[in-house]
Structures are given as structure tokens and as C-alpha cells.
Amino acid sequence: MFASHLAMHIPDGFLSVPVSLFGWALAIGLIAIALGQTKKVLGERQVPLMGILAAFIFAAQMINFPVAGGTSGHLIGGMLAAILLGPWGAVLVMTSVVALQALLFQDGGLLVLGFNIFNMGIVSAFVGYGVYSLLGKVTGHSRAGNLFNAAVGAWMSVEAAAVAVTLQLVVSGTSPLSVAFPAMVGVHALIGFGEALITVGALAFIQQARPDLVGRPNQMAKRGAGWIAVGLIIALVIVGFSPLADPNPDGLERVAEDQGFIDTAQGPSYEILPDYTVPFIEDSALTTIAAGVIGVLIVAGVGYGVGRLNRRSNQQMEQV
């Protein structure tokens, strides 16, 4: 959907430099794990499979369907890739898609590419996969059950990516939380609905034609994936509920600036805003931002922990 393209690919300039660099750190760490995990399962098949399936996602995004009033929906792909390739495979495939969109077609910036990869590749793959496999434990892996879980997972994956984008914009001080959050979540509730429909359509077809390609997540590396999915969901829930606590946008913005996202140019304007320095507002708004930061830190911590565990288990395997 055009709107999803617009809202998901952040251009340079919209994220502050520290936020952008943090995004790179997150993306690089998780991509490194994804490379190792898929290599372990696929061996030398990794390169052609991942490369061609990334091209597949690209081409699949071309296949659109009319929605209403001249708009059309199309696949984003994180959930579908995660079902078919496992979360780590999906991370690699979506990373290539997002990186190529930035490098080849200027969809999304270069300095912010880390977070674009994180949002559309990592968040959507892990949240989608997390929801899909959690629900799978309840419903079992019947065909109908898979389709239902894929629909819920697809919707969640789009919403989660949208929340992540919003958070980054808000922390960078380029979007007010009070407006951006409901707008992004609202728009992506619809886009996520389209994503769910189309993911189900694709999955139903593949289950019919090549059932061997679906529902064998064990074959694809998924170690550590559960932890990351859980971490992301916790982080996003925290972030998702935090703005409800504080309806005052000005206070939020004020604190976003106080947190260090201002520059010298901001100096004089403070003299005009004594009204806004109500300690009470500052406090509750501070918790909002803090919650966002904690959410992101949880993700970072989990990513780091998985990396450590992964390395250790590799060493053990070598010793054996």
C-alpha cells in the first residue's frame, strides 16, 4: 500500500544522529546472528536461497489488489517470510529487501538504514513469528489454524513495525507522540488488515501446492528467536501503553528536548515558556519517554544476550 511505503521507509534527516547510530548497532548485531544461524542450517545454499527470495519479496510487493477509491494494497512480507523461512531467514531476506530499496531506489535514507532494517526486517519478522508460533501452540498446526495464526501475526507485525517507527521519530523529536502514535497505529491497523488478507491468500496457496515448504520451522534455525520475539513484544507493549498515561503533548515535547534532542538554537525559546514547566507534567511525560527507552533497551539486551548464548553454544559444539 502506498501509505505503508510512505510511513515505513524513514528518510535521512528525520532521525537524530544518536538514534540513527543506535539503530545501526541493533541492526548489525542481529544481522550477524541471522547470518550465522541461517548458515548453520542452509550451508552453502544460504546465498542463492536468501538472495532469490529477497528478490521474490520485491516482486511480490508489485502484485497489488484494488482496495477502494483508487488505493491498492500490497504485501509487505515480513510475516510470510518468517513462516516460510523461520525468523532468522526472514531477517536476512527482509534486510536485503530494505537495503536494496535504500541503495537502489532511495526508498528510505542511508544514515537511518539501520532502523529501517530493524523496523521492517527484524521487528516485523520476530513479532510476526512470535505471535504465529505462540498461537500455534494453542491451535495446533492444522491448515486452518496456520492461516488464522498467520493472519493475526501479519496484522501484529505491521502494527509493531509502525509503533517502532513512531517511537524512533518521537525520540528524535521529529514527531509529537500525541499525534503520531494514534495516527500511525490507526493507519497501520488498516494496512495490517490488508497484509493479513494477502498473507493468508499466499499461505493457503503454498499449503495446497507445496505443503512440504510450510510448517517445518524446526528445520530452519530458530534458536533464540523466541526470546527476541518476547522481548520485542514486551517493549512494544510498554511503549504502546505509555502515551495513554500522559495526554499533554507539549509536556512530552518539552521533555524530549530536555533529554538532549535540542541544539543551541533552542535557547531563546525557553524564556517564552514558563507556563510549560509544570513539574507534574514533566514527571509523567518523563516516564513515557523512559518507558520507550526501557523498551528499546530490553530489545538491545535480549539481542546481546542471544548473541552471547549463541557464541557459547558454538564453542561448546566445537569442543564436542
Partner 1 sequence: MAGAFQERYRPGDSRIHRLDPRIKTVTALFLILGVVLTPERAWPAYPLIWALLGSMAEISGIRAWRLGRMAALVLPFTLAAVALPFTMPGRTVFEILGLAASDTGLARLFAVVLKSWLSAQSALLLTTTTPFTDLLWALSSLRVPPTLVTILGFTYRYLYTLKEEAERLIRARDSRSGTLPGKKSGGSLCWRAQVAGAMIGNLFIRSYERSERVYLAMRARGYTGEMKGFSRPAPTLNVLLSGALPVLVLVLIEVMAVILWSS
Angle at 116 between CA 113 and CA 120, to 5 degrees: 145
From candidates 61, 259, 284, 287, binder to partner 1 by CB under 8 A = 61
For the bound state, the minimum distance from the C-beta of residue 4 to partner 1, rounded and expressed in Å, comes to 12
CB 230, min distance to partner 1, A = 26
Collapsed DSSP state (helix, strand, coil) of residue 65? strand
User: What's the DSSP call for residue 267?
Assistant: G
Picking from 56, 5, 67, 25, the residue whose alpha carbon sits closest to that of residue 202 is 56
Q: Does 149 bind partner 1 (CB under 8 A)?
A: no
Nearer to partner 1, 62 or 244 (CB): 62
Nearest approach, Cβ of 234 to partner 1 (angstroms)?
25
Alpha helices of 76-220 — where are they, by DSSP H? Answer: 78-105, 113-117, 124-139, 143-171, 177-209
The angle subtended at Cα 83 by Cα 296 and Cα 108, nearest 5°, is 50
Which of 30, 60, 94, 285 contacts partner 1 by CB under 8 A?
Answer: 60
To partner 1, the closest distance from the beta carbon of 269 in angstroms equals 5
According to CB under 8 A, which residues from 252 to 271 bind partner 1? 252-254, 263-266, 269
Least distance (Å) between residue 262 CB and partner 1: 8
Q: Is the dihedral of CA 66, 69, 70, 72 positive or negative?
A: negative
Instruction: Considering only residues 164 through 203, tell me which ones interact with partner 1, judged by CB under 8 A.
Output: 169, 173-176, 178-180, 194, 197-203
What is the DSSP-derived secondary structure letter of residue 63? -
Q: Residue 175 Cβ, how far from partner 1 at the closest point, in Å?
A: 5
In whole angstroms, give the CA distance from residue 72 to residue 137.
Answer: 34
Q: 284: part of which helix (H) or strand (E)?
A: helix 279-319
Angle between helix axes 46-60 and 17-42 (nearest 10 degrees) is: 120
Residue closer to partner 1 by CB (options 286, 298) is 286
Among 97, 162, 225, 235, binds partner 1 (CB under 8 A): 97
Q: What is the largest CA-CA distance in the chain?
A: 68
273 in contact with partner 1 (CB under 8 A): yes
CA atoms of 172 and 256, how far apart (whole Å) = 8
Q: Nearest-5° angle of CA 208, CA 211, CA 213?
A: 130
105 near partner 1, judged by CB under 8 A:
yes
- Of positions 26, 53, 76, 255, contacts partner 1 by CB under 8 A: 53
The answer to whether residue 99 forms part of the interface with partner 1 (CB under 8 A) is yes
Residue 33 interacting with partner 1 (CB under 8 A): no
Among 24, 39, 41, 230, binds partner 1 (CB under 8 A): 39
Give the residue from 81, 79, 222, 97 showing the smallest Cα distance to 157.
79
Identity of the residue, 61 or 230, whose beta carbon is nearer to partner 1 in the bound complex: 61
**Gyration radius (Cα) of the chain, Å:** 20
Site for partner 1 in 68-87 (CB under 8 A): 68, 73-75, 80, 84
Is residue 163 a contact point for partner 1 (CB under 8 A)?
Answer: no
How many residues contact partner 1, by CB under 8 A?
A: 96
The answer to whether residue 25 forms part of the interface with partner 1 (CB under 8 A) is: no
| Residue range at the interface with partner 1 (CB under 8 A); choices 38-46, 128-136, 223-231, 284-292 | 38-46
Q: Which of residues 274-313 bind partner 1 (CB under 8 A)?
A: 275-276
- The answer to whether 24 contacts partner 1 (rule: CB under 8 A) is no
Q: Around Cβ 96, how many Cβ atoms within 10 Å?
A: 19
